[in-house]
Amino acid sequence: MPSTYHEPELTQPVNLCDSHGNLNPAAVGWSRHPLHHCNLKGHWPRKKRWNYWAIVSPTHLFSVTLSDIDYLGLPFIYLLDFETKTFTEKTLLKPFGAGCYLPAGADGDVVYQDPAMPISMLATAAGTHLTIGCPDFGGKPLTADFHVHQPAGHETLNVVIPWSSKRFQFTSKQNTLPTEGTLQWGDETIHFNPKDTFACLDLGRGMWPFTCFWNWSSFSTRLTDGRTVGVNLGAGWTDGTGMNENALCVDGVLTKISEDLFFDYNTDDFMAPWHLHTSVTDRVDLKFTPFYERVAKTDALVIRSEVHQMIGHFTGTLKPDQGEPIDIKNALGWAEDHHARW
């Protein structure tokens, strides 16, 4: 398998699927803004749809997801306090994805109305408005209200991964999005300041194989000179397809990295330092030091999944298309190891 390759950049709107629900060859490529209309149909139960948001401040990580994997819906939220390492998570299981509607476009509204966990992700003129409720989150009620700002012209990573004509995935990875809001959990109020809080969206629409593996890593940070820098890095699931999900975002300008990434880490000790680096050049060279391990395991008959999502700090060097190399010091983010049968 080549370690570097040509990835076509798309500049016009395109349907992800043809009239039979198979991959539209013209959809294969990447773009700086969401251009794909994800008109999934048929191929039950291989359709997978999700919107995952992670909000990271210097003190907390809050995440909300709505997913529909054809035969099951999975709304879930989690909260991590970096200082105390207090972690709370709640997942609902909705047979056949009842109520878990996810639109074909990356900018479409999402509204999930279950009283156990109402979730709203609404597009606004300035970005996205997120509201979440949960009357019993670790024994206490939770409400959250976030405004995710999308600066004018801000570029994001949007890419189609083509395993075959019947198995493929569109993903939109959007990071370095300044975010403000408030989370109320019982008697505790947590404030998120847009000066040092960033949101990351992982949006997926596709037809997946039953068994899969991936590494995924992301961070958003503000440098001492005021620039914002983010990365999206992946491996495993894209191998051998001629496309990947590797990119840098500096002050809203995307650098696509058409090169494989290596995730070097110890599966016997996920808390040991990781090394993330490009396979041929030195465009990405990062040391990742975890301080928290989130383990999420699901074993529900057909579905089996195990995720080790490590939260920690990145230090190293990035080389964008323009300008000098960028030194990264203690940027908050995550790297994960995920095996699934779904």
Q: Judge contact between 201 and 52, C-beta under 8 A.
A: yes
May I ask the CATH class of domain 10-209? Answer: mainly beta
> Does pLDDT of 301 surpass 80?
no
Q: Is the model more confident about 125 or about 303?
A: 125
- Residue 131 is predicted with a pLDDT of 98
Question: How many CB atoms are located within 10 Å of the residue 336 CB?
Answer: 19
Q: Which two tokens stand for residue 82?
A: 């970096």
- Find tokens 């095996």 and name the residue: 339
pLDDT tens digits, one per residue of 109-161 = 999 999 999 999 999 999 999 999 999 999 999 999 999 999 999 999 999 99
CB half-sphere exposure, 308, CA atoms < 13 A: 15
Mean pLDDT across 293-313? 89
Q: Indicate the pLDDT class of residue 332, thresholds 50, 70 and 90.
A: very high
What value, to the nearest 5°, has the Cα angle with vertex 30 and ends 179 and 306? 65
Average model confidence (pLDDT) across the chain? 96
Question: Does residue 4 surpass a pLDDT of 90?
Answer: no
What's the pLDDT score for residue 281?
95
Cα(103)–Cα(68) distance, integer angstroms:
11
Q: What is the pLDDT of residues 242-255, one digit of tens each?
A: 999 999 999 999 99
Could you write out the three-class secondary structure of the chain?
Answer: CCCECCCCECCCCEECECCCCCECHHHCCEECCCCEECCCCCCCCCEEEEEEEEEECCCEEEEEEEEECCCEECCEEEEEECCCCCEEEEECCEECCCCCCCCCCCCCCEEECCCCCCEEEEECCCEEEEEEEEEEECCEEEEEEEEEECCCCCCCEEEEEECCCCCEEEEEEEEEEEEEEEEEECCEEEEECCCCCEEEEEEEEEECCCEEEEEEEEEEEECCCCCEEEEEEEECCCCCCCCCCCEEEECCEEEECCECEEEECCCCCCCCCEEEEECCCCCEEEEEEEEEEEEEEEEECCEEEEEEEEEEEEEEEECCCCCCCEEEEEEEEEEEEEEEEC
> How many of the other CB atoms lie within 10 Å of CB of 277?
19
Residue where the block lists tokens 């949960």: 134
pLDDT at 2 over 80: no
For the ranges 212-221, 261-270, 300-309, which has the lowest average pLDDT? 300-309
User: Longest Cα pair distance anywhere in the chain, in angstroms?
Assistant: 54
* Token pair listed for 189: 């109020």
Q: Sketch the domain layout of the chain as residue ranges.
A: 10-209, 210-342
User: Cβ distance 178 to 152 under 8 Å?
Assistant: no
Positive or negative torsion for Cα 12, 283, 150, 176: positive
Distance CA(121)–CA(51), nearest Å, equals: 9
Distance CA(70)–CA(100), nearest Å, equals: 10
Whole-angstrom Cα distance, residue 240 to residue 228?
A: 32
Q: Are 133 and 62 in contact (CB under 8 A)?
A: no
pLDDT for 297: 87
The band of 304, judged by pLDDT with boundaries at 50, 70 and 90, is confident
Give percent of the chain with pLDDT exceeding 90: 95
Average pLDDT over residues 240-267: 97
Which has the closest alpha carbon to 215: 340, 54, 342, 28?
340
